[in-house]
Amino acid sequence: MDIDFVRSRFIKHFDGTTGAIYTSPGRINLIGEHTDYNGGFVFPGAVDKGITAEIKPNGKDKVCAYSIDLKDYVEFGLNEEDAPKASWARYIFGVCREMIKRGVDVKGFNTAFAGDVPLGAGMSSSAALESTFAYALNDLFGDNKIDKFELAKVGQATEHNYCGVNCGIMDQFASVFGKEGHLMRLDCRSLEYKYYPFRPEGYRLVLVDSVVKHELASSAYNKRRQSCENVVAAIKKNHPEVEFLRDCNMDMLSEVKADVSEEDYKRAEYVIEEIQRVLDVCDALERGDYETVGQKMFETHHGMSKLYEVSCEELDFLNDIAFDCGVTGSRVMGGGFGGCTINLVKNELYETFITTAKEQFKKKFGRSPKVYDVVISDGSHRVC
């Protein structure tokens, strides 16, 4: 993101003075989708696209926020009843409230922010926004006393309490903890994490964006989470120690087949398999075995499409093209219901794959998908 651009808008929009600039990235996820809120493993990394904000305390009791991309300006107070209507401003308001709940003495501020994370692409622009403000408010008003784990939880709680999405912790964690050139294996139950250098020699990671965004994605997402919780409740009757699907295996799932809906059963089947796939991919990466990594990615796509049912016609089409072109691995990335596929492609196949994907997609859907090369980057930080 061009810092000078954000600064020039901040100066123009407010009183001509400058503040501090913070930035946080969006994320990719190599494997482990819809496993985070099931206490399982994920394998994300931060990217070189994010949200950048200039912020300056204004000595008042209100936040004056300007979205440069939307050319929209909103003011709101810091009390619970002051929640703004604009959905983008609710993210900032939610972060302020969650920081206040954690003892940070947040005061009024002016801010202008912009981003280059493609919206609706499944790269988590909302987590980037939350992380930017959580990091900034901690620095400006909290003496940095809130640790990075809690900053990620601030973003997640914002989604739950102010934006209506019962998400897991993956996106905010990846945004805050991102490290250049590394993916991270995160245990979403204990929040233990390990960085893996990720520079697969001879391969490229590329995102192909279907540019589909489903209106009801957040309610469908919450419904998936509910299905998982229904199955856990059923399994718990025989296995009281079980807290998450992470704690279950296929035998335990089979025991409750008659007690849960067919739909909930399929959802749980996918999650249990997906958690194992993350561990398999970690082992494969340690051996440098990218063929297995890729095969697991295709299996994930199949599960997300047929069992978890969060893919769509356009994403299935892109996945088929990748398979037919001989791409090593491909799958829908993020929550689903639109957005991108993530593809692990041998260097020599890259051009053919991208050209074929663009041509065939256009022929079928009348428009071109967008293509983003992935650069794995650092997490939240102060720029100046």
Residue numbers annotated as active site: 171
Q: What are the two backbone dihedrals, phi and then psi, of residue 185, each rounded to the nearest 5 degrees? A: -95, 120
34 binding ligand GAF? (CB under 6 A): yes
The residue (of 111 and 125) whose beta carbon lies closer to ligand GAF is: 125
CB 84, min distance to ligand GAF, A: 22
User: How many residues in the shown chain lie near ligand GAF by CB under 6 A?
Assistant: 11
In angstroms, the CA 133 to CA 65 distance is: 12
Segment contacting ligand GAF by CB under 6 A, of 33-41, 56-64, 84-92, 230-238: 33-41
User: Contact letters (x/-) for ligand GAF, 171-200, by CB under 6 A?
Assistant: x-----------------------------
Between residues 34 and 97, which has the closer beta carbon with respect to ligand GAF?
A: 34
Closest residue by Cα to residue 223 from 80, 358, 37: 37
Strands 329-332 and 338-346 come out as antiparallel
Q: Could you tell me which residues come within 8 angstroms of residue 208 by beta carbon, excluding any fewer than 6 positions away? A: 318, 322, 340, 341, 343, 354, 357, 369, 370, 371
CA 78 to each of CA 87, 105, 114, 146: distance values in angstroms, whole numbers, following the listed order: 16, 11, 22, 19
Segment interacting with ligand GAF, rule: CB under 6 A, options 57-65, 71-79, 93-101, 162-170: 162-170
Q: Does 30 bind ligand GAF (CB under 6 A)?
A: no
Window of 108-116, 135-143, 164-172, 242-250 that interacts with ligand GAF by CB under 6 A: 164-172
- Comparing CB distances to ligand GAF, the nearer of 33 and 48 is 33
For position 277 contacting ligand GAF by CB under 6 A, the verdict is no
Please choose, out of 34-42, 179-187, 193-201, 250-258, the segment that lies near ligand GAF by the rule CB under 6 A. Answer: 34-42
C-alpha separations of 205 from 35, 97, 198, 253, 375 in Å: 22, 37, 10, 35, 9
Among 118, 168, 294, 379, binds ligand GAF (CB under 6 A): 168
User: Residue 334, interface with ligand GAF (CB under 6 A)?
Assistant: yes
Site membership for ligand GAF, residue 37 (CB under 6 A) = yes
Half-sphere exposure of 262 (CA within 13 A, CB side): 1
CA-angle at 104, arms to 114 and 193, nearest 5°: 70
* Euclidean distance between CA atoms 190 and 203, whole angstroms: 32
Q: Which range touches ligand GAF (CB under 6 A), out of 31-39, 197-205, 262-270, 312-320? A: 31-39
Q: Measure Cα distances from 81 to 35, 76, 85, 97, 100 in Å.
A: 34, 10, 11, 11, 14
Strand partners, 29: 44
The answer to whether 170 contacts ligand GAF (rule: CB under 6 A) is yes
Among 167, 248, 256, 315, binds ligand GAF (CB under 6 A): 167
Tracing tokens 């926020």 back to the chain, one arrives at 65
The distance from CA 114 to its chain's CA centroid, rounded to whole angstroms, is: 18
For residue 287, the number of C-alpha atoms closer than 13 Å in the C-beta half-sphere is 10
Using the rule CB under 6 A, is 124 a contact of ligand GAF?
yes
Residue 36 interacts with ligand GAF (CB under 6 A): yes or no: yes
Q: Which one of 19, 39, 84, 335 is in contact with ligand GAF (CB under 6 A)?
A: 335
**Closer to ligand GAF by Cβ: residue 106 or 231:** 231
Residues binding ligand GAF (CB under 6 A): 33-34, 36-37, 124, 167-168, 170-171, 334-335
